[in-house]
């Protein structure tokens, strides 16, 4: 279902649920990470994109402090009071909305409750950040409904806090920022030290395939924490070795890594090589995009995946197979894992004219190798979160 049809369906379901039309509607897209893997908590750079799949949130005020929320795709309801906001233990999905509402209420006098309906078309579990889309659509809709002055970065932080306190996921700001600042046919470049955001043209002659392996490997949380610890240990090493301040691996150049890496144990050196190399690739990638050199940009994506596989070891057999297969398909420009790794999805860069051939080749090869299907969707960089006029 396209976004226009999805909005019409959301409006119909809102009327059916509440007996009146909505007052405010907002839409926010999911996101995909293109370059800059595990650089956010190292205060580095990321190139990402908002995508052309997203979530609508429709709301209207109530006359008291009660809130009633409907998940259109789940056919479930949640009821809660403004005066007693707390994470739900029975259902996960209302917590994203309640967490955002709580964040807004902490700095603004809201008072009355609302009726709300959410409906989206982001594939769940595909690494496309359906949660951030829900948070940003909710925040934009409620801020408008209650006439609150909230900046985009404040809204991103509120969404992040909602995940931390209401959902229990210690996420960064990448997903929320990408959803808010997306632009059609552009990538979003974020500096995670300053939180400065800009958009870089990708052009209309490129799109992506998102290939969801459905692979979920054990001990992911422990592996993630281990890699963060190695990055912190490497930053402390470089702080002691270099003649300039180092507060995070963002402050270490690739040349400095090459010069001093032998002073660390092999694992820590390789772990550090990944975000340091990724920051270099993001900078090079931005320059290549400005020149319109998609082929060279695509090679950086392949290099990024090789670093994930060899240095950070956050890939897996399924992802490696997809990226290797993609590298041998005519018309494919680049491919890499997207997101935290250890399973999940690979993202493939190609020209729109080559989509059908590549999609079929990847799906057939994956099915033969693993005996299970790989969900493959065409996605394109899209505009970020916005209000929708009725």
Contact criterion met (CB below 8 Å) for 186 and 388: no
Q: Using alpha carbons only, how large is the chain's radius of gyration in Å?
A: 21
The catalytic residue among 40, 102, 175, 354 is: 175
- Assign residue 171 a region (left: φ > 0; alpha: ψ between -120 and 50; beta: otherwise): beta
> CA-to-CA distance for 249 and 37, rounded, in angstroms?
13
> CA-to-CA distance for 314 and 373, rounded, in angstroms?
22
Around Cβ 75, how many Cβ atoms within 10 Å? Answer: 8
Tokens at residue 249, please? Answer: 């691996």
Alpha-carbon separation of residue 150 from 74, 243, 252, 355 (angstroms): 30, 41, 35, 40
> CA-to-CA distance for 280 and 232, rounded, in angstroms?
19
Contact criterion met (CB below 8 Å) for 381 and 135: no
The DSSP result for 56-79, as a single string, is EEEEEE-SSSEEEEEETTTTEEEE
> CA-to-CA distance for 106 and 158, rounded, in angstroms?
10
> Which residues fall within 8 angstroms of residue 373, CB to CB, at 6 or more apart?
363, 366, 367
Contact criterion met (CB below 8 Å) for 104 and 143: yes
Tokens at residue 207, please? Answer: 């799109």
Strands 197-201 and 76-81: unpaired
Assign 59 to helix, strand or coil. Answer: strand
C-alpha 336 chain-centroid distance: 15
> CA-to-CA distance for 287 and 282, rounded, in angstroms?
9
Q: Does the active-site annotation cover 175?
A: yes
Alpha-carbon separation of residue 111 from 8, 64, 82, 150 (angstroms): 30, 8, 7, 17
> CA-to-CA distance for 285 and 201, rounded, in angstroms?
11
Residues tagged active-site: 175
């Amino acid at each position: 279902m396209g976004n226009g049809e999805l909005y019409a369906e959301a409006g119909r379901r809102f009327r059916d649920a509440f007996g009146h039309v909505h007052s405010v509607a907002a839409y926010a897209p999911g996101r995909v990470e293109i370059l800059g893997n595990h650089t956010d908590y190292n205060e580095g750079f990321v190139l990402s994109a908002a995508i052309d799949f997203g979530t609508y949130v429709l709301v209207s005020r109530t006359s008291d402090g009660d809130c009633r929320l409907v998940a259109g795709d789940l056919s479930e309801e949640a009821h809660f009071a403004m005066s007693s906001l707390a994470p739900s233990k029975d259902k996960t999905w209302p917590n994203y909305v309640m967490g955002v509402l709580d964040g807004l209420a902490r700095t603004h006098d809201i008072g009355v409750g609302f009726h709300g309906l959410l409906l989206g078309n982001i594939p769940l579990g595909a690494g496309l950040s359906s949660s951030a889309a829900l948070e940003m659509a909710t925040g934009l809709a409620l801020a408008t409904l209650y006439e609150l002055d909230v900046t985009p970065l404040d809204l991103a932080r509120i969404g992040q806090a909602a995940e931390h306190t209401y959902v229990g996921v210690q996420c960064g700001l990448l997903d929320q920022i990408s959803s808010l600042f997306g632009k059609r046919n552009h990538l979003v470049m974020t500096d995670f030290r300053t939180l400065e955001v800009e958009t870089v043209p990708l052009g209309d002659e490129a799109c992506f395939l998102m290939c969801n392996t459905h692979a979920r490997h054990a001990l992911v949380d422990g592996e993630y924490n281990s890699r963060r610890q190695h990055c912190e240990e490497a930053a402390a090493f470089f702080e002691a070795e270099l003649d300039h301040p180092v507060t995070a691996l963002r402050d270490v150049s690739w040349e400095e890594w090459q010069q001093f890496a032998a002073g660390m144990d092999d694992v820590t050196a390789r772990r550090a090589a990944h975000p340091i190399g990724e920051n270099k690739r993001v900078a090079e990638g931005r320059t290549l995009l400005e020149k319109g050199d998609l082929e060279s940009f695509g090679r950086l994506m392949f290099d990024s995946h090789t670093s994930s596989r060899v240095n950070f070891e956050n890939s897996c057999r399924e992802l490696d197979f997809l990226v290797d297969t993609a590298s041998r398909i005519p018309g494919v420009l680049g491919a890499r894992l997207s997101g935290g790794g250890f399973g999940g999805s690979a993202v493939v860069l190609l020209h729109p004219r080559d989509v059908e051939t590549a999609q079929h080749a990847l799906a057939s090869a994956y099915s033969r190798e693993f005996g299970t299907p790989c969900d493959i969707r065409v996605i394109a960089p899209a505009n970020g979160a916005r209000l929708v006029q009725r």
